[in-house]
Amino acid sequence: MNLQHCTRKVGMTVFIILLLLGASMVLSDLYAPFTTNAYLQKYVVSITTEVKGNVERIFVHNGDFVKEGDPLFSIDKHDIVEDRGVAYANMVIIQQHLSRLRVEISQTEEKIEQQKESLNNKKRHFLRYKTLSKKHTISTEQLDDARLEYLEARKDLQDSQLELESKQIELGKDGGNGGLLLAQALLDRSDSKIAKTTTYAPVSGLVTNMQLNVGEAINSSRPQVAITSGKHTRLIANFNEKALGKLDGANVLVVFDALPGQIFEGKVTSKDSAVQFALHADADIGKEAYIQRDDRWIRKSQQVRSVIEIDNLPAELVSGSKATAMIKPKNHGFWRTFSSTIMTFISWFHFIY
């Protein structure tokens, strides 16, 4: 009789505890929102070669820690060096042409000075003959010959001046020769390509997703390696939409599946305001959030994506690590205790699951 009474009492106690716990979990959506749909998001940089070609050397391996500026891999530069040689030869040819053009301009300028002096002499000769012709001391033929010589000298001077102007335009003003600028640009591009044959780490972090083999032909159409940086690490948690009023600036308790027995504290820094971002195509960015149309009387609640910042996260956590998050209310003593108790239990539970 005593055993039966004790059994009933224990059963009733367990039932009441489970009932209270169930009621508390239901009410927690309003006072201490809870979600198991949370994951760690790290700053991941996808790295692509800027120059297509065959892989010549690989300096790192998956899991290596690299610092910003460390070399990752290099491309065979043989063909690019040959292209640079052609570009350099082309620039030398243009420079030689411009040097010859400067000499021709100098010679034309000297020629123009001589033609100006000759023109002045022939002009004076013509004017003198013109005066003598009025006095009838020379024949008309002599006057015509002097006039023709003067006109021919003036035409020769004009032709030389046009030739000089044409050569000066071809040379360009203040080093602005189009051919030389193009040749220099091609040479600079070749030098830039040679420098880009070695790809360097843009940030410090761990090498991951290395997909390279020596001799493999690669291009910029797909990333060859990624670096996971410890900077800007954050937790993405999807809370039930009933938690909207509790999320702004809320303190959060977090338990990671990978770290049983440990509880971390964080803070909600932002939440998505029903805007499409990463779940659909790029064309959907900026549109209203996708809402599943459901005709059932009891339907699944909408999820609100929230960003949680956590200080002093262990380095062993990887991008995508699963977590459980629960709001720790600031002004409700019962729910603060409830949150701490539930998250402590969950952290212990991860030892076996």
Separation of alpha carbons 47 and 50, rounded Å: 9
Q: pLDDT band for position 279 (50/70/90)?
A: very low
Per the prediction, the chain carries an average pLDDT of: 83
Side-chain-facing half-sphere of 336: CA atoms under 13 Å? 8
End-to-end CA distance of the chain: 39
How do the domains of the chain map onto residue ranges? Answer: 47-77+196-225, 79-193
What pLDDT shows up at residue 277?
Answer: 45
Burial of 205 (0-12, 13-18, 19+ CB in 10 A): buried
Domain 47-77+196-225 of CATH type 2.40.50.100:
yes
Model confidence pLDDT, tens digit, residues 289-337 = 555 555 666 666 677 888 999 888 887 888 888 999 998 888 777 878 8
Query: What are the residues whose beta carbons fall under 8 Å from the beta carbon of 74, sequence distance 6 or more?
Result: 55, 56, 57, 59, 197, 198, 199
CB neighbour burial string for 42-74, b if at least 16 within 10 angstroms, e if fewer: bebeebebebebebeebbbeeeeebeeeeebbb
Query: What are the residues whose beta carbons fall under 8 Å from the beta carbon of 190, sequence distance 6 or more?
Result: 80, 83, 84, 87, 88
What pLDDT shows up at residue 89?
Answer: 93
Judged by phi (left if over 0) then psi (alpha if -120 to 50, else beta), residue 199 lies in beta
State which H helix or E strand residue 164 sits in: helix 140-171
Phi, psi at 45, each rounded to 5°: -110, 120
Model confidence pLDDT, tens digit, residues 21-33 = 666 666 666 778 8
pTM of the model: 0.64
Separation of alpha carbons 157 and 149, rounded Å: 12
Separation of alpha carbons 207 and 70, rounded Å: 11
What pLDDT shows up at residue 291?
Answer: 53
Q: Which stretch of 38-47, 50-59, 197-206, 278-287 has the lowest confidence by average pLDDT?
A: 278-287
What pLDDT shows up at residue 281?
Answer: 47
Per the model's pLDDT, the better-predicted residue between 5 and 89 turns out to be 89
In angstroms, what CA-CA distances link 154 with 80, 115, 130, 167? Answer: 55, 8, 17, 20
**Does residue 301 sit in helix, strand or coil?**
coil
Side-chain-facing half-sphere of 48: CA atoms under 13 Å? 7
Q: pLDDT band for position 276 (50/70/90)?
A: very low
In angstroms, what CA-CA distances link 279 with 141, 227, 231, 275, 286? Answer: 99, 23, 24, 10, 12
Separation of alpha carbons 268 and 308, rounded Å: 4
Model confidence pLDDT, tens digit, residues 72-106 = 999 998 988 998 999 999 999 988 998 898 899 89
188 in Cβ contact with 53 (< 8 Å): no
Q: What residue type is assigned to position 39 of the chain?
A: Y
Per the model's pLDDT, the better-predicted residue between 173 and 257 turns out to be 257
Per the model's pLDDT, the better-predicted residue between 281 and 327 turns out to be 327
What pLDDT shows up at residue 278?
Answer: 46
- What residues are paired with 53 via a beta bridge? 218
What pLDDT shows up at residue 27?
Answer: 62
Side-chain-facing half-sphere of 307: CA atoms under 13 Å? 11
Tell the residue number behind the tokens 């076996």, with chain if given.
Answer: 352
